[in-house]
Amino acid sequence: MANKPSLLSTLPTNPPAQFLKDITDGFSETQMLGEGAFGTVYKGILQDGQPIAVKKLAENAPVAPEKQFKIGVGNLMAMQHPNIVRILGYCREPQRKVIEQSGRYIIVDVVESLLYYEYVPNGNLEKYISDASASRPDWKTCFEIIKGICQGLRYLHKEMDRPIVHLDLHPTNILLDENMVPKITDFGLSRLFGEEQTRINTINVVGKKGYMAPEYLYRGEISTRSDIYSLGLVIMEIITGKNSSSSDKDMSARDFVRETWTDEHIASKHSALDAVSLQEVRTCIEIGLKCVDIDQNKRPSIVEIVDKLNGRHAH
């Protein structure tokens, strides 16, 4: 936390779009950190060398009217939790742009919307958890990552005035800091863009559909239980190193874990683990399988999950 004052001291209170453009080298590809359902994220370097992340919302992103957007971002900026990426601010400015229309060039006003966040240095979870990854963490770290993700989700679901349903939880939306502490990002999009639009945009992001709960994907039903389904797939992916959204055609991630991850398999895959750690693996598998129950009413709540991970039993 020591770098927070210097981070904020060289960041203007309400930076103009040009400032954010300059620190990202003109939103250059070399500064690009990733792309999401509503825009592209770039690394920006402040005057004192401190990095921040700048999200440039896509021009066709269905951004809410100014007042609603300002309130929505203000609420998100007030959120502070060790397992949530902190939003530092936003900028919305009209930009004059030349476009071609019916063979003629015309000048139009386009509102450019930018959000800026704390920079999380170790990138996203996806690159660490594949079995093929050379940087795959040991079980102790994996277990702490699982617990951290669950703590962050509990904050969104239970510690706000009204629950924030993430709607787009998957490994690329979970970032890791220098100590491998997980931080959930891209939360609260439904507050800025509307729930139905969030669903449509998420469906259109290649490969992320597989993390969406069936009742949300097919019927547009939204509840915290949708996030629990996604969480279950993320937990099983961390444990198995197998991508949940591209499972074998004839075997879903759920069935793969249920059929393959027997006690014998766990013991052989994690032969170096002691009895306590093996029990942690079993507990996480049990939680993961319950989370992806097709019947959403049978999925555990995030409070029950956190209690179970901490060795307590919620009643």
d(CA 143, CA 165) in angstroms, rounded, equals 23
* Cβ pair 309, 301 in contact under 8 A: no
Number of domains the chain is built from: 2
Q: Under DSSP, is residue 12 helix (H, G, I), strand (E, B) or coil? A: coil
Verify that 148 and 285 share a domain, yes or no. yes
In a domain, 166, yes or no: yes
The pair of three-digit structure tokens given for residue 215, joined into one six-digit string:
């009742």
Tens-of-pLDDT digits for all 315 residues of the chain? Answer: 344 444 556 677 789 999 999 999 999 999 999 987 778 999 999 999 999 999 998 877 667 777 888 888 888 898 999 999 999 999 988 877 777 888 888 887 778 889 999 999 999 999 898 877 778 899 999 999 999 999 999 999 999 888 888 888 999 999 999 999 999 998 877 666 666 666 666 666 544 778 889 888 888 888 899 999 999 999 999 998 877 665 454 456 677 788 888 888 888 877 788 999 999 999 999 999 999 999 999 999 999 999 999 987 654
Chain center to CA of 7? 23
d(CA 230, CA 244) in angstroms, rounded, equals 10
Q: Under DSSP, is residue 265 helix (H, G, I), strand (E, B) or coil? A: helix
Instruction: Give backbone dihedrals phi and psi of 118, rounded to 5 degrees, phi first.
Output: -60, 145
In a domain, 148, yes or no: yes
Residue 147 is labelled as binding a ligand: no
d(CA 63, CA 65) in angstroms, rounded, equals 7
Burial 98-122 (b: 16+ CB within 10 A, else e): eeeeeeeeeeeeeebbbbbbbbbeb
Q: Cα Rg for the chain, rounded, in angstroms? A: 21
Q: Which of 80, 99, 118 is the last residue of a domain?
A: 118
Q: Which of 87, 118, 149 is the last residue of a domain?
A: 118
What DSSP designation does 84 have? B
Verify that 209 and 97 share a domain, yes or no. no
- Catalytic center residues: 168
**Structural domain boundaries enclosing 35:** 4-118
- How many CB atoms lie under 10 A from the CB of residue 149? 23
Helices (H) and strands (E) in the chain, counts: 13, 7
Verify that 113 and 133 share a domain, yes or no. no
Verify that 112 and 26 share a domain, yes or no. yes
